A and B are shown apart, each in its own frame.
Chain A
């Protein structure tokens, strides 16, 4: 018996002749914060809409909480909170009235409205019409709506899209504060790894409709390879010396630092000796790790080639 909260098997969505999503096999375990990553147009929203039954899959199956959505829709959706794409709202109603509508549909206590307003810090603006809200406020209202039913599974589709850095930070802090409180499972999509980097425990990367990576974020981190950067007083001279010796081309970065791809200790020590013996001044030798963002981009690029 597996404890997957979300599980899809060969899920596909075809529009005309092209697949927006192809053979998607998502597995999200209980208590996980699953970062669903992919560039714009890679199929994140399409996948999420299929999970929630907003669009019909061309092929494949979706299981939430171990059950098929069609067979137990009412029961399953009561435990799910979702924000799909841009936030949904009735602009001619106040924030409170918007929440009231959802509260009635979920049949939860009215007190819960004040609670979620407080969580997303919209209490002061609750009697304003939503069409007068800023994008960030609408986004927070969307999260409040998703939280209203005390969901066991929270699905957030690019909740920070279109926000300024301060807004992004705020939403991120908000999401990070959630799981400790009720042990919920979260699936959050983004086109930027940096946005979910600090909160995700599990990562799925989708590119052109295909899931090309799915594992813990540590595994992703370990994929980041390192290089050695060496700063000397005459980089060009050093480059010629090293290239002659090791018969290997050496790059210079924008600041005229030498970049070495071989990083084992013996090699570095050898390089250092050579440079010193050639009367060059070695200012510093340091390891640079490629960022997680680079790893992410490389994985996607690998798929394109």
Chain B
């Protein structure tokens, strides 16, 4: 049943220009990053530094700290907006699948979109870098690691964002709250408590080794998992109880 429900969520994403968002948002992050990189190349690249990694510190700054948290929130809001707008909730919820299944399917499709976004980002990062003439060897393992870690880190955030989007009928309100909390990540990322702050976690997880990043990976991922589990349980439980008006 879950497979069917995920397929259905996929169908609902048609004709929403999602592919454009998926291509453009990571690309903009890359371009802004490379722009910074070439402007401050002298300061950023020191002897023994790999230019790709230095360029990544700039790209991930825009992507991890701003674009990704806003984008994952947008995916959640879009997915729920499709239901709120035409009364989809009240149709779906009088059919056999349970509310838990419906919620889970939405979670899966959103996490899938985030994963695709990560893949697009890395691909675009490499292609733009090559086109801009970066010479050093591509740090494949490093890029793979930030892709996976970034994805794991954003899971907790998605759990919170889906909970919000499923409870608030308006499309804009959760997005606005999300943007405000994203801005707070600028402060959080530099502080120790940033490790616990879901909006700062993606950028921390995706940062290069020589930046202030995660203090202990295991600890970081455990915190992340706890937040993910709590937000999912609360999200499912409150959705299950919700009156559909």
Smallest beta-carbon distance A259→chain B, Å: 47
Chain A interface residue count, Cβ-Cβ cutoff 8 angstroms:
33
Which residues from chain B contact A55 at a C-beta distance below 8 Å? 243-245
Of B65-73, B86-94, B217-225, which binds chain A?
B86-94
CB within 8 Å for A106 and B95 given contacts A54-B243, A55-B243, A90-B82: yes
A89 to B11, CA, bound (A): 13
Closest to A107 in B: B4
Among residues of B, the one whose C-beta sits closest to the C-beta of A131 is B86
> A104 and B4: CB pair below 8 A?
yes
Q: Are B86 and A101 interface neighbours, CB within 8 A?
A: no
Check: A1 CB closer than 8 A to any chain B CB. Answer: no
Distance of A88 Cα from B87 Cα, bound (Å)? 5
A interface footprint on B1-34 (CB within 8 Å = 1, 0 otherwise): 0001101100110111000000000000000000
- Output the nearest chain A residue to B12 by Cβ-Cβ distance: A90
> B98 at the A/B interface (Cβ < 8 Å)?
yes
A305–B4 Cα gap in the complex (Å)?
54
- Alpha-carbon gap, A100 to B241, bound state (A): 28
Residues B12 and A93 in contact, CB atoms below 8 Å apart: yes
Instruction: Tell whether, in the assembled complex, residue A97 and residue B11 are in contact, meaning their CB atoms are under 8 Å apart.
Output: yes
Give per-residue flags for A81-104: 1 if the beta carbon is below 8 A from chain B beta carbons, else 0.
010111111111100010011101
Tell me, yes or no, whether B38 is within 8 Å of chain A by CB: no
B19 to chain A, nearest CB (A): 14
Q: With A93-B11, A107-B4 in contact, is A84–B90 under 8 Å at CB?
A: yes
Given known contacts A88-B86, A88-B88, A90-B86, A101 and B11 CB-to-CB distance under 8 angstroms: yes
User: Would you call A49 an interface residue if the criterion is a C-beta within 8 Å of the partner chain's C-beta atoms?
Assistant: yes
Q: Mark A117-153, 1 if CB is under 8 A from B, else 0.
A: 0000000000001100000000000000100000000
A250 CB–B CB distance under 8 Å: no
B85 within 8 A of A: yes
Q: How far is the CB of B245 from chain A (nearest CB, A)?
A: 7
Query: B94's contact among A74, A80, A92, A130, by CB below 8 Å, is which?
Result: A80
Q: Which listed residue, A49, A56, A73, A78, touches B98 by the CB 8 Å rule?
A: A73
Question: B90, A74: Cβ atoms under 8 Å?
Answer: no
Would A84 and B241 count as touching, CB distance under 8 A?
no
Chain B nearest CB, measured from A30 CB (Å): 20
**Interface residues contributed by chain B, number (CB under 8 Å):** 27
CB distance from B90 to the nearest CB of A (A): 5
Residues A48-76 near B (CB distance < 8 A): 49, 52-56, 73-74
- What residues on B are CB-neighbors of A254 within 8 Å? none
Contact of B94 with A77 in the complex, beta carbons under 8 Å: yes
Chain B residues near A78 (CB-CB < 8 A): 96
Cβ of B97 under 8 Å from chain A: yes
Taken together as a complex, chains A and B put the C-alpha atoms of A87 and B16 apart, in Å, by 22
Once bound together, how far apart are the Cα atoms of A53 and B99, in whole Å? 11
Tell me whether A105 is interfacial, beta carbon within 8 Å.
yes
List the A residue with the shortest CB-CB distance to B11: A101
Tell me if A92 and B11 are in contact (CB < 8 A). Answer: no
Contacts of B96 in A (CB 8 A): 73-74, 77-78, 105-106
Residues of B within 8 Å of A88, CB to CB, are 86-88, 90-91
Q: Are the C-beta atoms of B86 and A105 separated by less than 8 Å?
A: no
Residue contact A85 to B90, C-beta cutoff 8 Å: yes
- With contacts A54-B94, A102-B95 taken as known, whether A92 is within 8 angstroms of B8 at the C-beta atoms is no
Check A101–B12 contact: CB distance below 8 A.
yes
Taking Cβ atoms with an 8 Å cutoff, the residues of A that contact B are 49, 52-56, 73-74, 77-78, 80, 82, 84-93, 97, 100-102, 104-107, 129-130, 145
> Which residues of B line the A interface, CB within 8 A?
4-5, 7-8, 11-12, 14-16, 82, 85-88, 90-98, 241, 243-245
15 contacts between A and B (CB under 8 A): A49-B244, A52-B93, A55-B245, A56-B243, A74-B96, A74-B98, A88-B91, A90-B88, A91-B86, A93-B12, A97-B11, A104-B8, A105-B8, A105-B96, A107-B4
